[in-house]
Structure 1
Amino acid sequence: MYLKLTIKQQRFADEYIISGNATEAAIKAGYAKRAAYQQGAENLKKPHIKTYIDERLEAINSAKIADQTEVLQYLTAVMRGETAATEVVVEGEGDGVSCARLIDKPPNEKERIRAAELLGKRYGAFTDKVSVDGNIAVEFVGYDDVEE
């Protein structure tokens, strides 16, 4: 856990996360423009500010990037037909008039089989490789021992 940041330090850290530029972040946080470069560099060296920035970036990344468990859960839901995709369906109403509407469609058989294949691949269920273990005696023959 990081130490309590001042309001200015937290504003600096949050602006730095957005821009990646310490000088710009220092100016937006309220530091004097003439001292912004130095203040930004010093702030990035302070452990409690660095820890805050690292924790915030990790939280942002974990919220945006699916982890392995989430991917496996999604593939399982698709394979079981528990998900739905929204599709546009156009229906004729007569006299050359048609109407478009949205429907939720469960995964078709092809999509479910593909999800099952990806899950099977992950767990090694469909492998053609054969693993052979064993002990083999190896005898080294020196040059002098070879018959001509």
Structure 2
Amino acid sequence: MAKLTLKQQRFIDEYIISGNATQAAIKAGYAPKNAGQTGAENLRKPQIKAELKHRNDELQSQKTMDMQEVMERLASFGRGEVTEEQVTNSGEIVQVKTKNSDQIRALELIGKRYGAWTDKKEVSGSLEIDVGVGEYDEDD
């Protein structure tokens, strides 16, 4: 795959910020007169498309949690390793440990993830169904 020029790299940076190909082309140093066409052409170039996808995937990955991170954070809560800020009556900000209820909730979520508990419902009653005779059943 061809290497990106400095202008193309700047175009990608600006396009990620604004989502506007014309403005990205202008800010990257392309001629304003042809910026609309240049921006559209750049978005069709395979090496630019590939780099945009790669960069967007990286950004998305940084913004979201995977299941490993979720479980690690829940484990920290469950172990009481997490603290939070609280303001005292005198206005002082202090760090306090995770509340027991938050720890229990984290442990419940971890248990659910591993199927430790299943909710069972007991149902009683009759399953008899009275179909009856309808107009469609008449013998004539």
User: Residue 34 in 1 paired to residue 33 in 2?
Assistant: yes
CA distance in 2, matches of 1:66, 1:129: 31
What's the CA shift string for 1:54-77, capped at 9, x where partnerless?
A: 111111111121221111100011
What's the CA shift string for 1:122-143, capped at 9, x where partnerless?
A: 111111359xxxxxxxxxxxxx
Extract unaligned runs of 5+ from structure 1: 92-99, 131-148
Q: How does 1:38-53 map to 2 (within 5 A)?
A: 38-53=37-52
CA distance in 2, matches of 1:77, 1:116: 10
Query: What SS does the corresponding residue of 1:128 show, helix, strand or coil?
Result: coil
Q: Which has the higher strand share?
A: 1
CA distance in 1, matches of 2:45, 2:114: 45
CA distance in 2, matches of 1:3, 1:62: 26
CA distance in 2, matches of 1:107, 1:13: 43
Q: Which segments of structure 1 move beyond 4 Å, counting only runs of 4 or more?
A: none
Extract unaligned runs of 5+ from structure 2: 122-140
1:3 Cα deviation after fit: 4.2
CA distance in 1, matches of 2:43, 2:120: 51
Number of positions where the alignment pairs a residue of Structure 1 with one of Structure 2: 121
Query: What SS does the corresponding residue of 1:90 show, helix, strand or coil?
Result: coil
- Tell me the equivalent position of 2:111: 120
CA distance in 2, matches of 1:65, 1:3: 31
1:52 Cα deviation after fit: 1.2
Instruction: Give the aligned residue type for 1:47.
Output: P
TM-score (ref. length: structure 2): 0.80
Query: What SS does the corresponding residue of 1:124 show, helix, strand or coil?
Result: coil
Instruction: Give the aligned residue type for 2:98.
Output: P
- Tell me the equivalent position of 1:64: 63
Query: What SS does the corresponding residue of 1:127 show, helix, strand or coil?
Result: coil
Query: What SS does the corresponding residue of 2:65 show, helix, strand or coil?
Result: coil
CA distance in 1, matches of 2:2, 2:50: 9
What's the CA shift string for 1:70-100, capped at 9, x where partnerless?
A: 1110001100111111111123xxxxxxxx1
1:4 Cα deviation after fit: 2.5
